[in-house]
């Protein structure tokens, strides 16, 4: 067996991954006397190197050899752990980290360099966060643990078995996409609860808005409106978060349309950028005033998860999808603008992609621009209705009216220009 240049590089990578874990373990137990630890800095590097060499030998001498080396290492480390545990407190975590270092070295030599490197970094980070993780564990309440398990149930378990295909009248319903919206709303509810609990009301609300604005402004609008009803004192910041999240839709619409057809950039820029300004200006004002008037010690909502609210929106979305598809089937493709309005009730992106592509062929630019703005305006009006319908008077002036003004002005500009 000869060492090639690539083999030397892989061995060096394997050694460095072991040393990375060893640095964290060595730093943590640097005050202990020599020989009292399961493994030290050099030992972790050698263990990872052993894994790489074992993988090399197993390729030529038989795959069983890798298992033999791993079993021998596990036996030696366990014996060392047992001996140390009889004299003083020993760390089982260090034993597990040593076995992982061996595995990462073997993975590197077997071609999984990126995966092994990523896992080694995650392992080192997890090892270094022992104190923080234990503090968070003491801060978690039973209802929060149950909420996390519920979120995992509806996302990891239920979402994986729901069919991802169009069905129902006019093939309007995709169960996977509808349930994904339920998961998204529940996730935003979960994130906003813990953001407010650990970062405070001011930072937590805005952090959630920035997190969810790029994922689903509709989901965030629903969740923040519900929170405004439960926590009226935080409504200025919640309204600012809604406007920030909703405002991200307009530049996204402009960007997608102009990428598909650059000729749409100039005629679409005026109405969409105007809608951005009319949404962001009150958002910045509410954020500024909210930071001055909203107390930092506002308690988060009573529950981390709003499952019933999310399920209710799922039913509403189902009804909206049926209505918009029914309008399209009844009126046909001749009513492009009516179709844009009906599609905008559910989602702006599909009709934006469709009209932008059609404008490159046989659809007039003016019609495409008007249809895209109509969809965006209708979507904005839907969110305005959600804020006042769920959040009540606290969200009417702060969020609902700015969204209605932005939608109306953008539509007017698209009609005039």
Note the pLDDT tens digit of each residue in 107-120: 998 889 898 998 88
Average pLDDT of every residue of the chain? 78
C-alpha distances out from residue 257 to 22, 265, 296, 350, 366, Å: 51, 7, 41, 11, 13
DSSP 301: P
Return the minimum-mean-pLDDT range out of 146-155, 351-360, 362-371.
351-360
Residue 153 burial class via C-beta count within 10 angstroms: exposed 0-12, middle 13-18, buried 19 and up: exposed
Residue 99 and residue 73 in contact, taking contact as beta carbons nearer than 8 Å: yes
Looking at the fold, whether 144 and 292 belong to one and the same domain comes out as yes
Looking at the fold, whether 88 and 220 belong to one and the same domain comes out as no
Helix (H, G, I), strand (E, B) or coil at 383: helix
Looking at the fold, whether 217 and 355 belong to one and the same domain comes out as yes
- For residues 352 and 254, what is the distance between their CA atoms, to the nearest angstrom? 9
Return the minimum-mean-pLDDT range out of 111-125, 130-144, 223-237, 399-413.
130-144
Q: Each residue of 380-390: pLDDT tens digit?
A: 898 898 888 88
Looking at the fold, whether 253 and 394 belong to one and the same domain comes out as yes
- For residues 294 and 236, what is the distance between their CA atoms, to the nearest angstrom? 8
How many distinct structural domains can be found in the chain?
A: 2
Looking at the fold, whether 386 and 290 belong to one and the same domain comes out as yes
Q: Is 287 left (phi over 0), alpha (psi -120 to 50) or beta?
A: alpha
Q: What is the DSSP string of 391-413?
A: HTHHHIIIIIHHHHHHHHHHHHH
Final residue of a structural domain among 90, 115, 135: 135
Residue 97 and residue 48 in contact, taking contact as beta carbons nearer than 8 Å: no
Residue 208 and residue 188 in contact, taking contact as beta carbons nearer than 8 Å: yes
Looking at the fold, whether 127 and 145 belong to one and the same domain comes out as no
Looking at the fold, whether 122 and 244 belong to one and the same domain comes out as no
Looking at the fold, whether 255 and 380 belong to one and the same domain comes out as yes
Final residue of a structural domain among 135, 170, 193: 135
Looking at the fold, whether 245 and 181 belong to one and the same domain comes out as yes
Looking at the fold, whether 30 and 130 belong to one and the same domain comes out as yes
Looking at the fold, whether 131 and 156 belong to one and the same domain comes out as no
The single residue listed with the structure tokens 């997608």 is 256
Q: Does the pTM exceed 0.75?
A: no
| Residue range of the domain that includes 404 | 140-416
Residue 323 and residue 345 in contact, taking contact as beta carbons nearer than 8 Å: yes
Final residue of a structural domain among 84, 116, 135: 135
Return the minimum-mean-pLDDT range out of 166-170, 243-247, 281-285, 290-294.
290-294
φ, ψ of residue 37 in degrees (nearest 5): -105, 155
Looking at the fold, whether 230 and 308 belong to one and the same domain comes out as yes
Q: Each residue of 167-217: pLDDT tens digit?
A: 877 676 778 877 877 787 677 667 766 766 666 656 667 667 766 666 667
């Amino acid at each position: 067996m000869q060492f090639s240049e690539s083999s030397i590089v892989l061995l060096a990578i394997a050694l460095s991954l072991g040393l990375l874990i060893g640095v964290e373990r060595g730093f943590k137990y640097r005050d202990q006397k020599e020989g009292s630890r399961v493994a030290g800095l050099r030992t972790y590097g050698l263990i990872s190197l052993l894994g790489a060499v074992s993988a090399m030998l197993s390729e030529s001498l038989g795959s069983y050899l890798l298992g033999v080396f791993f079993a021998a290492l596990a036996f030696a480390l366990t014996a060392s752990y047992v001996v140390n545990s009889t004299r003083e407190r020993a760390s089982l975590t260090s034993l597990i980290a040593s076995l992982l270092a061996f595995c990462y070295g073997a993975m590197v030599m077997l071609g999984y360099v990126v995966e092994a490197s990523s896992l080694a970094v995650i392992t080192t980070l997890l090892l270094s966060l022992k104190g923080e993780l234990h503090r968070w564990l003491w801060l978690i309440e039973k209802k929060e643990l149950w909420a996390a398990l519920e979120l995992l149930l509806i996302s990891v378990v239920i979402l994986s078995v729901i069919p991802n295909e169009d069905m129902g009248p006019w093939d309007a319903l995709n169960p996977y996409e509808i349930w994904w919206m339920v998961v998204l709303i529940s996730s935003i509810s979960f994130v906003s609860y813990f953001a407010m609990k650990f970062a405070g009301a001011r930072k937590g609300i805005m952090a959630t808005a920035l997190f969810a604005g790029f994922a689903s402004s509709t989901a965030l609008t629903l969740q923040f409106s519900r929170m405004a009803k439960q926590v009226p004192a935080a409504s200025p910041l919640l309204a600012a978060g809604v406007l920030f999240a909703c405002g991200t839709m307009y530049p996204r619409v402009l960007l997608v349309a102009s990428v598909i057809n650059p000729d749409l950039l100039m005629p679409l820029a005026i109405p969409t950028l105007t809608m951005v300004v009319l949404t962001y200006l009150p958002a910045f004002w509410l954020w500024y005033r909210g930071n001055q008037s909203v107390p930092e010690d506002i308690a988060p909502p009573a529950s981390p998860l709003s499952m019933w609210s999310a399920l209710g929106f799922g039913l509403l979305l189902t009804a909206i999808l049926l209505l918009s598809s029914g309008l399209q089937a009844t009126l046909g493709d001749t009513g492009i603008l009516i179709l844009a309005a009906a599609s905008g009730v559910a989602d702006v992106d599909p009709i934006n992609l469709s009209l932008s592509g059609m404008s490159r062929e046989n659809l007039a630019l003016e019609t495409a621009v008007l249809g895209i703005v109509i969809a965006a305006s209708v979507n904005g009006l839907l969110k305005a209705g959600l804020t006042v319908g769920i959040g009540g008077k606290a969200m009417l002036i702060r969020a609902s009216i700015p969204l209605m003004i932005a939608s109306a002005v953008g539509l007017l500009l698209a009609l005039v220009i």
